[in-house]
Structure 1
Amino acid sequence: MATNAAGKIHIGIGGWVFEPWRGVFYPDKLSQKRELEYAASKLTSIEINGTYYGSQKPESFARWRAETPDDFVFALKGSRFCTNRRILAEAGPSVEKFVTSGLSELKEKLGPINWQFMATKAFDPADFEAFLKLLPKDVDGVTLRHAVEVRHPSFRSPDFVGLLREYGVAAITSGDSDFPEIADVTAPFVYARIMGTKEAEPNGYPAKQLDTWTGRAQAWAKGGAPEDLELVAPAASKMPRDVFLYVISGDKVRNPAAAMALIERVGG
């Protein structure tokens, strides 16, 4: 974890259970029960994907917290039952079920929640605002930070960016992918998911691209905005902020190497 003024840069991958990582990222003969412990010793954050597909037990969240270093942070995927619906305003019971499922057991290690939407979901300003109103600010005394990952081109709109700024919700920047890239800062933190790793690159990305993403993360952390990313609705801000950057998709086998290379570059 690297500190830039008051902002912290957290870098990681999606999940920690992936068989092809064994013998590549994970040492040979490492017990599967120790994979999270090992991953957390090399990374500074992990985005948990399993919470998107089904409920997790409070005991699981408590165990994950216990198995990771003090400064480690988890991002969580919000339940698909909240976002994969025609009318978002009706998601209230599903949102409540998710946030009260035990995730507060992560305590200070709870990072942002990623509410991911399907690529077919278009921007409906009134209905999307109704969804944002359903997102609680805390649960069991633990502050909740919300981010939305939208994948339909209609969201590249100043109205969407303005709505997120009004509610303090982050627009997730989808980097190196076919999804719309929204790099506008809309919350007191930044959430980016980069998806361009390639098998031919030992570190997933060429050194130049790793340097580019390092510079972007550092610019966000210092309160600025990367000069090489196009913004939908630019706004002046110099407030240092935490950054959560995950290497996702692409050539998944290379993602841990890319994340570790980025951590080394930011001085983590």
Structure 2
Amino acid sequence: MGQIRVGTSGWVYPPWRGVFYPEGLAQKRELEHLSRQVTSVEINGSFYSLQRPSSYLKWAAQTPDDFVFSLKGGRFVTHLKRLRDSGDTLANFFASGVLALGPKLGPILWQLPPTLQYDPVLLAEFFGNLPRTTSAAAELATRHDERVDPAWTTTDEDRPLRHAVEVRHPSFADPGFPDLAREHGIAVVVADSAGKYPRLEVVTADFTYVRLHGADELYVSGYTDEGLDEWAAKVRSWAEVGDVFVYFDNDAKVMAPRDATALIRKVE
């Protein structure tokens, strides 16, 4: 059986304060509070901009020893450059401090824009440029440019590095896509998006990555007890193949931490 980790996508949400976060809890202690109730968190600030090594070091220090972060790849790579020239753009991302998480660094999520269609040649090139170990990521990071300062270009230990891709264009229903992902050991994200984007439930790597954006309304609606039972059964079946990472992204009405903690109880 693989290990099951469940958490939320991000943790800095004002509506959570006084509802999930106790009244009066200092904002700087919110990650500490959340990390004692879930088993992983997806860092999404790294999608919007390059973070700093000091931030990654701080987040690692605030969480339990066995905690793991997944990390959302930068939108500069996925949305602005649309995966092109990834041999260069990835260097800055990995130099920004990602490796400062040390043993707490989990999978890296690459969320593609809804307008990006399935292009096997482009994807194969991108997948081929992704570092598969922390040592390879550190070496790639040394190629960063002046936009990364300070840079972090070392790793404390050589470890495998996992990658997952979330697709949002209908053309990815192409039967060749799972084969391509499987060939490169990339996990195809199982994304529940209230029917807005493709939901592909295929295992293409030695782990499964699940993002639950909302049962009925994107980013808003929660999951019923029966719905969580269904997801728990799926998660347990995927865990027979390898590790499973599940993140709730229905944060608008404080549903994400509620659903994450409920699912943890169901899969324990």
**TM-score tier after normalising by the smaller chain length:** 0.7 to 0.9
Conservation of the 8 A alpha-carbon contact between 1:13 and 1:255: yes
Counterpart Cα distance in 2 of 1:55 and 1:250: 23
What one-letter code is carried by the residue in structure 2 that aligns with 1:263?
A: I
- 1:143 is displaced (CA, Å) by 2.6
- Secondary structure of the 1:59 match is helix
Q: Which has the higher mean CA deviation after the structures are superposed, 77-86 or 123-132?
A: 77-86
Equivalent residue number for residue 115 of structure 2: 120
* 2:255 is aligned with 1:254: yes
Equivalent residue number for residue 45 of structure 1: 40
Specify whether residues 245 and 70 from structure 1 end up closer, same or farther in structure 2 by C-alpha distance, changes over 3 A only.
Answer: same
Equivalent residue number for residue 65 of structure 1: 60
Q: Which has the higher mean CA deviation after the structures are superposed, 189-198 or 114-123?
A: 189-198
Equivalent residue number for residue 32 of structure 1: 27
1:143 to 124, 148, 160: 160
Counterpart Cα distance in 1 of 2:255 and 2:197: 21
Specify whether residues 76 and 87 from structure 1 end up closer, same or farther in structure 2 by C-alpha distance, changes over 3 A only.
Answer: closer
Equivalent residue number for residue 101 of structure 2: 106
1:156 to 150, 173, 176: 173
Conservation of the 8 A alpha-carbon contact between 1:117 and 1:151: yes
* 2:125 is aligned with 1:91: no
Counterpart Cα distance in 2 of 1:149 and 1:252: 23
Counterpart Cα distance in 2 of 1:87 and 1:11: 29
- Secondary structure of the 1:10 match is strand
Specify whether residues 167 and 56 from structure 1 end up closer, same or farther in structure 2 by C-alpha distance, changes over 3 A only.
Answer: same
Counterpart Cα distance in 1 of 2:223 and 2:90: 36
Counterpart Cα distance in 2 of 1:259 and 1:88: 31
Counterpart Cα distance in 1 of 2:82 and 2:40: 32
**Gap regions ≥5 residues in structure 2:** 135-154
Equivalent residue number for residue 165 of structure 1: 182
Show structure 1 runs of 4+ deviating over 4 A: none
Equivalent residue number for residue 140 of structure 2: none
- 1:176 is displaced (CA, Å) by 4.2
1:53-80 Cα distance to aligned partner (Å, 9 max, x none) = 1111111111111110112111111011
Conservation of the 8 A alpha-carbon contact between 2:192 and 2:215: no
Count of aligned positions = 242
- Aligned-pair Cα RMSD in Å: 1.7
What one-letter code is carried by the residue in structure 2 that aligns with 1:148?
A: V
- 1:259 is displaced (CA, Å) by 0.4
> Any residues of structure 2 matched to 1:203-218 within 5 Å, and which?
204-218=222-236
Conservation of the 8 A alpha-carbon contact between 1:197 and 1:250: no
Counterpart Cα distance in 1 of 2:54 and 2:163: 23
- 1:142 is displaced (CA, Å) by 3.7
1:182-207 Cα distance to aligned partner (Å, 9 max, x none) = 110001100010122579xxx93211
TM-score, normalised to structure 1's length?
Answer: 0.86
- 1:100 is displaced (CA, Å) by 2.2
- 1:88 is displaced (CA, Å) by 2.7
Instruction: Provide the identity percentage.
Output: 46
Equivalent residue number for residue 193 of structure 1: 211
1:199-238 Cα distance to aligned partner (Å, 9 max, x none) = 9xxx932110010011111000012xxxxxxxxxxxxxxx
- Secondary structure of the 1:42 match is coil
Specify whether residues 87 and 208 from structure 1 end up closer, same or farther in structure 2 by C-alpha distance, changes over 3 A only.
Answer: closer
TM-score, normalised to structure 2's length?
Answer: 0.86
Specify whether residues 102 and 86 from structure 1 end up closer, same or farther in structure 2 by C-alpha distance, changes over 3 A only.
Answer: closer
Equivalent residue number for residue 232 of structure 1: none
